[in-house]
Structure 1
């Protein structure tokens, strides 16, 4: 029987289940809340190999009828118009579409923008209460990533202010029979209308930025209209909610380990290695998106039918004791730290340098400017986001001595 990946207990702490699955074998049949069945890869070596396995493709056309019956649930026309972005492409199309993104998200360019990112972080902290309590998700983490993203991709301030965070929920599966389906479809239509505004603005007011370059590529015939809309969709959604979630998981981890929080606060030079460890310890990218074999294939001793979905658990891989010593312990100085929080291989997250900079600046700013930072209540009362592929918290009530 497939292992269910659902429920409050699982979303709050999936690591005991992952440890049990790792010990049994690398690949397991699983079932998601929507009823979708998949094959889950859990161990570090197996995950690393799967992420680099050229037999596994990402394009949805590879999915079989069983997968498509439940997993292709984004309704038409949005399914065909918003689902042809990088995460669902294979070479050579993937290689071609990825190039402009890599240029604008290059580490050297991101480093040059750090002073601006710091200004944005400080502005948000300035708006927090002078003394606790405060919700660090609503007051900081829900806004900082998108403000940074807008700077990086060239989203005009007026349009940036018009973006609704709830549009990011469209990546969470809502089946046709779900009572929340009408709201889900409304969010999709709203986001699609917003994307049309963004591309129209960039066509009328082109600049030297990523969004303008994508619009030019579509005008020149390099991208189709659907590919352009899908890439803007991916930038807006993947550039916001995952970083919000990662800030939430990182802060939860530090607040649960007050001695580590104090260590990092007193030694900010540890931020680069601390961020890598926080990414490993509890990643916002819990599971990857679908991969498919074109024909029946063996995957670490398990026969996988063609077109069945294969998903890698990045969180399970990052806690594998066969790869990481004291894998369930938080070590802010861990080195080396070859975690898989950003994936691996050709689909390695192109925004990794940006995410690292955001996390370092955000955590450094919050620890420096909010002395005495601690939970405002019982952390067990904090609700985790019931997303299928991601980890994060809905809110993060904290208190602190004062705002510096």
Structure 2
């Protein structure tokens, strides 16, 4: 099948059958429907079954993008150099009413090699397997401290009392953010992912960018040997200028905790929804590291990856994408593709789910993945060990989800500890 410019889909000879042959592209943005935020998987299934690469409307004003929902197609798109992440280049000759701070809009995530290569070379050593092993005692102390006041028979909000503060504490330590500022920064970060209010997003980006610019400039003017000073030395040695250094700090702050927060919350809810899996990990917590890939696949903390665009006409998995179009890759959909993952709506801890795309793939794969896995593993192990009979404190249908297509996560997860 190939997606035609007019929004129709047909099945040419020589391509594998994945849809119904001829389908219509959605008339409205399928990623802004209120039902999508509550449960995106039926929409993902319809889109993928219709055509795993198709043109869809985005927002208002007649704009559109190519949305990739199939697993092999998404995996190929993540590594295709003809899909650029350089958003500044894409919008250079296109009028826009957006006003994002450069530190947020021009990060490593929005660049191509060689600029991307230079910035990633600085970021990657922060999250190597060896470095994360060194951090594990610290991560355990943070989790223990956050759960110190938890008692059986009481209620807690796992999101507010563990899933948010754990990664926030870790990344803020790395950046030298004072404890008194961390809650404010967390609030700005949440606003940055608000899919319903672009003005609010833009304003939050400036608050974050201005704060981090001041933080970096203050650290440069004050000699020291803390984590932020060490990061600044790495940035200098890596050839990053001031703006690139601030943008790396912004990326570490936002990406360093948002997805981990959703990972922890989604994983706990998935286990509560599947008591057999919960009991299995409760009886043998050493199985938790091996269960993380399936938990990531089952309810990905990243629904739709950040913006790409086609620099030339190309084909992804036999599907045509013309030059000059935005391209959205949906790991949340790809991870539920039944081709690589039979019975994808089932949480199966025995499944080999290592091919999931929750951390991306290729040169833009999340460098912080080892840290996110370690934080989630320690959080789950501590919860299941201390409170092995924990359950939801509210009806499941009363849970609410954040209104953003980029990440998927709960606004709160009330638990009754036991």
TM-score, normalized by length of structure 1? Answer: 0.89
1:172 aligns to 2:204 (yes or no): no
1:56 aligns to 2:73 (yes or no): no
1:39 aligns to 2:50 (yes or no): no
1:90 aligns to 2:112 (yes or no): yes
Are residues 315 and 21 of structure 1, via their aligned partners in 2, closer, same or farther at CA, if it must alter by over 3 Å?
Answer: same
- Residue 87 (structure 1) shift: 0.4
Distance in 2, matches of 1:287 and 1:82, equals: 18
Deviations 1:288-329 (A, max 9, x none): 111112123333444333221111110111111110132221
1:149 aligns to 2:182 (yes or no): no
Answer yes or no: is the 8 Å Cα contact 2:152–2:387 preserved in 1: no
- Residue 336 (structure 1) shift: 5.5
Segments of 5+ residues of structure 2 without an aligned counterpart are 1-24
Give secondary structure in 2 for the equivalent of 1:38: strand
What is the number of equivalent residue pairs in this alignment?
390
1:75 aligns to 2:91 (yes or no): no
Alignment of 1:364-403 (within 5 A): 364-401=381-418
Answer yes or no: is the 8 Å Cα contact 1:277–1:330 preserved in 2: yes
Task: Report the equivalent of 1:131.
Answer: 153
Answer yes or no: is the 8 Å Cα contact 2:88–2:106 preserved in 1: no
Deviations 1:340-397 (A, max 9, x none): 1111100110001001101100111111112321111111111110012110000011
Distance in 1, matches of 2:283 and 2:237, equals: 53
- Residue 139 (structure 1) shift: 1.4
- Residue 173 (structure 1) shift: 5.9
Distance in 1, matches of 2:159 and 2:183, equals: 19
2:56 to 30, 34, 47: 30
Task: Report the equivalent of 1:112.
Answer: 134
Answer yes or no: is the 8 Å Cα contact 2:305–2:331 preserved in 1: yes
Distance in 2, matches of 1:244 and 1:34, equals: 30
Answer yes or no: is the 8 Å Cα contact 1:142–1:244 preserved in 2: yes
Answer yes or no: is the 8 Å Cα contact 1:137–1:248 preserved in 2: yes
Deviations 1:156-190 (A, max 9, x none): 55466465311113533668xx5x73x54543333
Answer yes or no: is the 8 Å Cα contact 1:32–1:388 preserved in 2: no
Distance in 1, matches of 2:162 and 2:338, equals: 34
Distance in 1, matches of 2:141 and 2:181, equals: 17
- Residue 219 (structure 1) shift: 5.5
- Residue 102 (structure 1) shift: 0.8
Give secondary structure in 2 for the equivalent of 1:240: helix
- Residue 57 (structure 1) shift: 1.2
Answer yes or no: is the 8 Å Cα contact 1:134–1:397 preserved in 2: yes
386-395 or 212-221: which moved more? 212-221
Distance in 2, matches of 1:381 and 1:45, equals: 35
- Residue 243 (structure 1) shift: 0.8
Alignment of 1:1-400 (within 5 A): 1-2=25-26, 3-33=29-59, 37-63=64-90, 68-69=94-95, 74-75=98-99, 78=101, 80-151=102-173, 153-158=174-179, 161=182, 163-172=184-193, 181=199, 183-203=200-220, 204-207=222-225, 209=227, 211-216=228-233, 222-335=239-352, 337-400=354-417
Are residues 159 and 227 of structure 1, via their aligned partners in 2, closer, same or farther at CA, if it must alter by over 3 Å?
Answer: farther
Are residues 324 and 244 of structure 1, via their aligned partners in 2, closer, same or farther at CA, if it must alter by over 3 Å?
Answer: same
Segments of 5+ residues of structure 1 without an aligned counterpart are none
